[in-house]
Each structure stands twice: as C-alpha cells, then as structure tokens.
Structure 1
C-alpha cells in the first residue's frame, strides 16, 4: 500500500493525546475509610472495575478512529496490475470494406460498430481511428461523430499490416493500445501479425446471413446485325437461392427483366440488347451485400478497326476474307510500298512472312506497341533466327530457337486467354487439330495461346497492358500448315484486330490501374475529365501524337457510369465497377486473430483497460472505518456502565 500524501502520516503523533487523557483519568485515588458499611464497599469496588474497562474500550476506539482519519487524509492506494501501459495512446483500426455491409443480429456490421463507438467511448477519451481509406489522429468521439455516421464502404480490403505501418509512420516509438474491429473476411494470415508489448484487442462482429449473390462480369457473347447478345456471369455463395429478380437498365429505362433460379453456384444469364449505344447497368436483388448487386457497363456505337497487313498479296489473301469492309478498314501493302506515316493510324498491324524485318520498321512498331497498338507477327521460313530474335527482344521475348523440320500438331487452346474468352461456350478437346511442317521454337515467358502436342507454343502473346504483340512460331501459308483451313483461323485473327475500346464493352475495375487510348488531339491547355452527375476527376493523361493515353489508378471512388469529356464535348461513355473480392462471406478466418484479446464490444475494452491500469484507492474504506469507530464510541458511552 502506498500514499498520495505520506507527509500527513506525521499527524499520527496526535495519538499521544487520547493516551495522555486516558492516563490522567486513570490516576490512583487515595483510600479513605469511614463508616463500616460492608454493602456500600462492595458496590464501590464493582463500579470502579467497570469504569476502568469502559475507559480502556474508549481509548482503543478513539485511537483507531484517529488513526483511520489520518490514514484517510493521506489517501492510501494499491498499485494497478498493469502500470507500465498507463501512458499508452489508443488506436482503433476499423474495417470499412464491403463485406462489413453484411447484416448481424443488430443490423449492418459497420453501422453497428460505429454505433458501439459512439455510445460507449467516453467524451474525454483521446484516440486515433484509422479505416481502410481514412485516418483521424488524436481526436475524441464528439469531434468525429458526423464523419463516423457518414463513413462509406470501401473497395480497399482490410490489411492489418498496412494499417499498422501507417500508424507507426505517424506515431513512431509511441506505446499504443490497439483495438481491431473487423469481420475477418478475406483475412490474410501473413498480414495480421502485430509485435506489441501492450495488449491488442480484437472485436469481430459476425454476419448472421452468409448467403450472397454477386454479378461478376458482363460481356458481349455474340452479335448480329441488329442485336448484342450480352452474357451476365453470376456467382452464388452459401445456400443456393431461387427466383432472384434481375433487370437491365439503359440509363433509367428498363430494357430487360428476368427471374433467376440457381441450380449451380455459377450461372450465366443471356440478354439481347438492340445494337446501339448503351450506357446503363444490370442489377439484382438479394438480402445480403449490396455492392456486388449492380454491374455498370457501356457499349458505344461500333467503329471500324483499322488493319494493315505487310507482306506479299497472295499470302495475305486469306486476311481480306476475315477483315470485311462492314467492320474493318483493311489495307494490304508490301514492305517496299509501305507508308510509315500511316502505321500510327492503325489499330492492328500484321507482319506476314517478311524474310527480314528492317530496323526502321522495328523501331516504328515498338513505338506503335507502346501507344496501345496490336502487332501480329507471322515469320517466314526464310527468316533468320538472328533477325527474329533481334525483333522480338524489343518486346520481351528473348529466346527464339532455330527452324525445325519436324511436323507438329496444335492440340492445346488457352480458353481463358482474352483472345478466346467469348469464342467457346465450353472447353473441348475434340476438334480437328491443325498441324505445321516446320516451326521455330519460342522461349522465355510469353503467354501461350495455342500450343503443340509437346507443350511448346505455336501462338504466344506479350502485353504492356495497353499494347499487344502476337507471335506465331511457324508460317501459316497452305504449304507449311493447314491452319488457314481450321475453324480457329477466323476467331483468332478477328479478335486480334478487333479493338475492344472501339467495339467492345467499356468498363474498368476500380483500382486495377487500367489505361484507355483515345483518338483525340489536345491543345496545350486542354485536359480530359471523367465525370457524371455526382462527381468528376482528372485522370493521368499522356499525349501520344494524335492519341491520348488515360490512366485511372484508384479512381473513381464510386462505381457507376461516367463520361469522358474534353471541355463540353463528350468523347466516350465509360463505366467503372468495384472488384468482387469480398463477395464470399464464408471466407471468414477468425482464428487468425487468436493471439489477441478477443472481446465483444468497445465498452468491454475500456472497462478492461480501466480495471487493470487504475490504482485501487483505499481512503474511502478508512473513512468508513472512522465513522464505524465513532458510532462504536457512542454505543460504548451509552450502554457500557
């Protein structure tokens, strides 16, 4: 036991006062003998003995009363159990990712956690609060009440290691109490370790309903002269639900509606839309997460893609049957008549069996690739390995082997490659295998699209995220291969030259740092903006001669339909969606937080901290004891004779 005011203990010397008074009252009396009355003598002896007992009781009571009163003024206390962390700063890490939209027994998890903070955090408590996207440093609950009540959900996942580093950068070497509030969905075991000497509290709100349906992707399945066939990919998590309503809107106008019956976890729904500009969304209704119930997409009026083939006219003849005038601006030219200035205006350039690719053409093609263009290279039998290696090395393919005269069959298709994603309804191995008689070998790490039976690539691709290079390993003329007679020839070359930014669905995933190339010329002070009715932002932009490259980074913050504008002129409609990374609520990994102190509310955290770090004051007990001894003295005075 310790004392806040130990100097008051000197007043214990006052205990000598009642002792002196008692000794004065207990002085000896002189005996005087007079009338010999025996009875009175016995009464006198008994009274004297009783009086002495009473005086001793009063002395003890007064000494204890005075002692307790002096000790009470000295304010005794017992040390707290956890004294080393009494100066810690409190930091609250709050998960506001999309999975916190799930409903618990008292509503949405995030809103319930915010309400818990507002109701149970003391007004004088100072703390810092960090969410996935925002931070409030050295504040109190009343100062950020409005911000917490309007806190929005974020597509940024809850990464404890990232938030911990953010806190440490702001407050280095400061002892902290950390409170984690998260539903533990998509928790990464390697991202939850906190090296702390002080306690780390963890509050894990739980969703009661873990069933959820997500719209994962919208794509053009196929198209006719008058209609687009739109494929909507859905995923069901948890127990499969039936009769979920789904609708397609162009702007605010309802254009299609259906009811979905789930019999498998994955489902594809097909809609037919008129072949005209579309700027809308598809949505469904389920009783779970809402962020993945709407998928925005835009389809612009198809524009013809510009394609040029460089090579002999007879070898390029098959291309004119694929690149028809209704969809493509196709041109064939030989190397000797090539207009280099026209290459920059193309969407796709096909190098078909040139015996040698000049350095000037290589330089031009590399610049074209860097600006988002598509290049298709078909080697000739006479092409030297050195020349082909020198060309492909500019695009990251550094290993080209010598020509082999061994016939090979093309037996493997990369169905997940973007080139074939909309070609096949299902994977199949039962098709007529094309073959080649002679082929080069392609090494390095290009993505294989078509492969031989020995797993070596026949068709590979590399990309810089905006440009694409397709490289064949062998000539595909009818003398060397029957690939031109294969069913694969049309979708392969058609999709290679098809510019999705001109003819496909314009939608981007927020946070993927994707880019868009537009054919537009800007003056010195002009900028491109991305805008809708609620917000606007200026993307990163890079001028590429007569084109401009837009990079969106982590913007916009909200999904929706937007317009790309130059001043008051709308250049293109575009849509943005959040990644469906937190749609599966069953990925709840609470065990990762077992090393921390788990609790059910913020009130419990404050009570635990208060009880373990607050000294136990004993002065009030001494005041009570003083009153009890005072009462005891009164009782002795009254009842003890």
Structure 2
C-alpha cells in the first residue's frame, strides 16, 4: 500500500493523547472501608471491573477512529497491475472496405462501429483513428464526431501492414494500445506478431447476418458484328442465391437491355447485344447484400480508322489489303525505296512484308516508333539476310533467328491465351485443318508464342514494352512457301496485330491497379490532360511520347464510374473505372490472425478493461467509512456498556 500524502502520517503521534487521557482516568485511589457499607463491597468491586473494561474499549475505539481518520487524509492506494502502461496511446484501426457495407444485427457494420466509438468514448479522452484512406491523430470525440460520421467506404482493401507502418512512422517512440475493428474479410498481415508481443491488442469483429452476395465480375466486348456489339457479362454468386436476379444495361441514363439471371452454378456468363456505336454506360443488378459490386461501368469508343503502312511489293501486299479493309484501316502501300520516313510517326502499325534487308535508318526509326506505342509486324523473305534481321531484332530484346530450315512443317498449336486471340475463340480448337510451311527460320529468345509448328518451334511470336508491340513471323507468308493465306487463322491474326490497343474494346480500368492508357494526343510542353466526370476530377501522372500521351492512374479515382479524358475543354477519350472485387466473398474471413488478441464485442469493454488494469485502487473512502464506523461503536459503548 502506498500514500499520496505520506507526510500526514506524522499526525499519528496524536494517538498519544487518548492514551494519556485513559491513563489519567485510571489513576489509583486509597481504599477506605466503612462498616455501614460493608455489605456493598462485593457489588462495588464488580462495578469497578465493568467500568475498567468500558474505558479500555473506548480507548481502543478512539485510537482506531483517530488512526483511520489520519490514514484517510494521507490517501492510501494500491498500485495498478499495469501502472507502467497507463500513459499508452490508444490507436483504433477501423476497416472501411466495401465488405463493411454488409448489415449486422444493428445495421451496416461500418456505421454501427463508428456509432459505438462515439457512444463509448468520454468527451475529452484522446485517441487516434486510422482507416484505409484517412487518418486522425490525437483527437477526441468532441472534435472528431462530424468527420467520423462522414467516413465513407474505400475502394482499396483494408491492409493492416500499411496502417501499422503509418503508426510506426508517425509515433516511433511511444507505447501504444490497439483496437482493431474489422470483419476480417480477405485480411492478411505479416506485421502482427511483433505488435502482439509489444502492445495490448483488442479485436472487435462485427459480423454480417446475411453472407450471400452476387457480384458483376467483368464486362468484355466478346464480338463485333455488322450492326451490334456483343458484350459478355461475367457474374459470380457467393453463398446460396436461389432467387432470380434482375439485370439491366444502361447507355448513359437510357436502358438498352434487361434480363434475369438464375444461379444454378456459382459462376454465370450472360451475352447481350448492344448497338454498334459509342457506348458510355454500365451494367446494374439488384441483390440484398453488398451494393458496391452491383454495378460495372464500361465504355466503348467510336472505332477509329487505323493508319497502317505496308512496306513491300504490291503483289505480295495484296492479301494484306483483303484483311485490312478501307472500312477500318487507312492502308498505305509502299516499297522500301519510296518509303516516307516522316510519315511513320503518324501511323499505328508498320508491316515489313518480305523485305530482304532492313536499312539501319529504318531499324532505328522503328525502334523509336515501338517505344512510343506503335506496332511493328515483321514477315521475313526466303532471301532475308539473317545477320541483318538479327541486328534489327536486338532493338527489341534477346531475339534471334537461325538460318532457314527447309523442312516442311505444319502449324499445329494456337496460343489461345495470347492477348491477340482474346474473345476470338469460344472454345479451344483441336481438330482444325493445319496450315503448313515449306521452310522457316528457327527462333530463340523470350518472345511470347502466338502460333507454333509441330516441333514446338515458333511460327509467330510477339514481344511488348506495355506501350508498343512487335510481331514476328518466322516464315514467308507467300503462297509458294505456305498455305497460311488460305487458313481462317490469318484473318484474326493479322487483323488484331494491326488494331490499336484501345480501339473497339471496353475501356475499363480497375481502381488501385495503377493501370496505364496510351492516347493519341498532341500536347504542348506544359499542357496536361485531366480525367473528369460530373462530380469528380483528377490529373493522372502522364508522359508525352511524340504524338501520344501515356497516362498512369495510380490509386485514382476514388469513385467508380464513367469518366472522360479531357484536353483543355475537349473530350479525347471515354473511359470507365470499377472497384476491385476482392471484398465480395463475405465468407472469406481470416479470424485466426487475431488469435493472440483480446476479443471484445464493443468499444466500452476495451475502455473499461484498460481503466481497470491501469488505474490505482484508491482506499481513502474505505478509511472514512472505518472512521464513521468506530465513531458509531464509541456511541454504542457509551450508551449500553455500564
């Protein structure tokens, strides 16, 4: 036991006073016996004994009364179990990811958790609170109440390691207590073990009552028809969803199509035709669970004609003109001697069709063209100088062609997963009529296979720098060397090679994936483009590449929706952003991460536990009660003891 005012204990010397008074009252007198009271002697002796006992009882009571009163003023207390931790700072890590939209027994998990914080904390108690996208340091309930109630859901997942790093950076040398409020959906962490070892950690786990959910996973442009686009809508069901779900496709605010989906399996694909025109809309479904994944935004730009230069003889270029029609391409046919180098910069694709030798000036120009986002297609000739073409290919990586092999081979393998064949085949084909080549150049290097021969050698492969593409055939495509021109494979292969990356596709991006977009835009040195819609605008990171601009979106925007890329006041591209679907499965809980934490059901329990462990036990009230008790005992002794 310790005392807040130990100096008051000196007053215990006052206990001498009642002892002196007692001794004075007990001083001895001389006895005289009178004959006329002889019969009362025995009674008188008994009375004196009783009086002595009463005086001793009064002395003990008064001593205890005075001692308890002095001790009460000295304010005794017992030290708290965790007295060294009483100055720890309380850090609240609050999950505001989309899975916290789910409803628990008392409403939305996030909103209910915020209300618990506001109701539990005393008005002036200091704490810090961090969410995925906000941080409030050293605040109290009174100053933070409005901001807490405005906290919205974040497109980014709840990452404990990121938040713990923030805390360590902001408060490196302070002792901390943690309250982590999360539904633990998809949660991962590598930094919790040292936190458990060094800090008091409380885990509050709000739970959803209904864990069934349906999500729109993706919308892709699966087929381009004469007057329609065919889009494929990928849906996913989590839990048991037996009721039909309504689904609608919007262009701007206009409903284009409606349908219903019943889930007999967890994954469903729905194909819908929409008008072949510029499209800036969304797909929306209705379910009774999470709302963030019930809409998927997508944009389809009006197809632009692609500028293509075919370098080769007119006779050999004929088959290319049949594939690259005037409706979708502006094709310039030129022989190498007449090539206008200045025109290359304004093209999307350059085709080198059976050129015997590539001049150094052209090789340098095409390497620059590729680095700025252009596509280069190389079709060798039987008379191609291997040393010359290898010198050219070195500009694009460790790619090499060996001397020509004059063995007839069949083209037997299609790389269905190659981006070139995305949405081309409904299923993998194994029994198609194999084209063949009479001779080819064996290749080596890190090219991505597109088509392969029966001996696994490449017939066509590609490399990319994420901006531009290089496509290389390893054999001449003329009819004397190959019947590939007669194969159905040639149309999607050459057509997609010549198409620009962002032409005739859904211009959709995922928030938080730091994806990039390359656009045709002639910008001045200090000019920038912005991404905007009716409620939000931001300037992405951008890099000017000749007549193009490369945009990197990072973690922006914060809200999913349809946006426009603007140069000054002009719209140059319609694009869409969607949230990542990592929060859709409410059954994907990682509760084992908090096995070493103290599990609680509400914030009040945390505050009471910390207070009980770290508050000294004050005893002065008990000593006051003892003082009053002994005062009462003295009165009773005075009255009833004779």
TM-score range for the pair, normalised by the shorter chain length: over 0.9
Q: Which residue of 1 aligns with 2:607?
A: 606
The whole-number CA distance in structure 2 between the counterparts of 1:552 and 1:389 is 37
Partner of 2:263: 262
Query: Is 1:589 matched up with 2:590?
Result: yes
Q: What CA deviation, in whole Å up to 9, does each residue of 1:590-630 have, x standing for no partner?
A: 11221322222222211111111111112221111111111
Secondary structure at the counterpart of residue 142 of structure 1: helix
Equivalent residue number for residue 114 of structure 2: 114
> Does residue 508 of structure 1 match 2:494?
no
Q: How far apart in 1 are the matches of 2:395 and 2:192?
A: 42
8 Å CA contact 1:240, 1:264 repeated in 2: no
Q: TM-score, normalised by structure 1?
A: 0.95
> Which one is further off, 514-523 or 221-230?
514-523
1:368-407 CA-to-partner distances (Å, cap 9, x unmatched) read 2222222222333444444344333322334555544555
Structure 2 partner of 1:214: 215
Counterparts in 2 of 1:569 and 1:2: CA distance versus 1, 3 Å: same
Native 8 Å contact 1:517 1:547 kept in 2: yes
Cα distance in 2, alignment partners of residues 484 and 586 from structure 1: 52
Alpha carbons 2:160, 2:189 under 8 Å: kept: no
Report what 1:198 is aligned to.
Answer: 199
TM-score by length of 2: 0.95
Partner of 1:309: 310
CA RMSD of aligned residues (A): 2.2
Q: Give the equivalent residue in structure 1 for 2:619.
A: 618
| Residues paired across the two proteins, number | 641
Deviations 1:67-120 (A, max 9, x none): 111111111111111123222111111111112212222222211211111111
**Hey, what's the Cα distance between the residues in 2 that align with 1:151 and 1:454?**
60
> Does structure 1 conserve the Cα–Cα contact (< 8 Å) formed by 2:155 and 2:559?
no
Match of residue 274 from structure 2: 273
Question: Equivalent residue for 2:78?
Answer: 78
Tell me, in whole angstroms, the C-alpha distance in 2 between the residues paired with 1:229 and 1:487: 21
What SS class does the counterpart of residue 220 from structure 1 fall into?
Answer: strand
1:160 and 2:160 are equivalent in the alignment: yes
Q: Distance in 2 between matches of 1:65 and 1:284?
A: 79
Query: Quick check: 1:319 aligned with 2:320?
Result: yes
Secondary structure of 2:18's match? helix
The residue aligned with 2:97 is: 97
Q: Tell me how far 1:18 sits from its aligned partner.
A: 1.0
**Residue 275 of structure 1: CA displacement?**
1.6
**Other structure's SS at 1:505 match:** coil
**1:41 is paired with a residue of what secondary structure?**
helix
Secondary structure of the structure 1 residue equivalent to 2:550:
strand
Match of 2:27 in 1: 27
Quick check: 2:217–2:234 contact (8 Å CA) kept in 1?
yes
Q: 1:331 to 1:172 in 2, by over 3 A?
A: same
1:452 Cα deviation after fit: 4.1
Unaligned runs of 5+ residues in structure 1 are none
Deviates more, 1:191-200 or 1:79-88: 191-200
Q: Supply the distance in 2 between the matched residues of 1:319 and 1:193 (Cα, whole angstroms).
A: 62
Distance in 2 (alpha carbons) for counterparts of 1:626 and 1:491 = 100
Distance in 2 separating the partners of 1:182 and 1:563:
35
Residues 125, 77 of structure 1: alpha-carbon distance in 2 compared, 3 angstrom cutoff: same
Matching residue of 1:635: 636
Which residue is 2:557 aligned to? 556
Q: Could you say which residue in structure 2 is the equivalent of 1:63?
A: 63
Residue 441 of structure 1 and its aligned partner are, at CA, apart by 4.2
> Is the Cα contact below 8 Å between 1:114 and 1:148 reproduced in 2?
yes
Alignment of 1:382-531 (within 5 A): 382-398=383-399, 400-401=401-402, 403-523=404-524, 526-531=527-532
In 2: Cα distance, 1:521 partner to 1:442 partner: 38
d(CA) in 1 for partners of 2:348, 2:509:
20
| Uncovered stretches (5+) of structure 2, i.e. residues with no partner | none
Kept after mapping to 2: 8 A contact 1:159/1:192 = no
Aligned to 2:345: 344
The answer to whether the Cα contact below 8 Å between 2:19 and 2:59 also exists between their aligned partners in 1 is yes
Q: CA deviation at 1:16?
A: 0.9
Is residue 589 of structure 2 the alignment partner of residue 569 of structure 1?
A: no
* Contact residue 82 and residue 613 of structure 1 kept, 8 A: yes
Distance in 1, Cα, partners of 2:409 & 2:615? 81
Other structure's SS at 2:350 match: strand
CA distance in 1, matches of 2:631, 2:600: 46
- Offset at residue 444 of structure 1 (A): 4.1
- Displacement of 1:332: 2.3
* 1:130 corresponding residue in structure 2: 130
**Does structure 2 retain, via aligned residues, the 8 Å contact 1:161–1:194?**
no
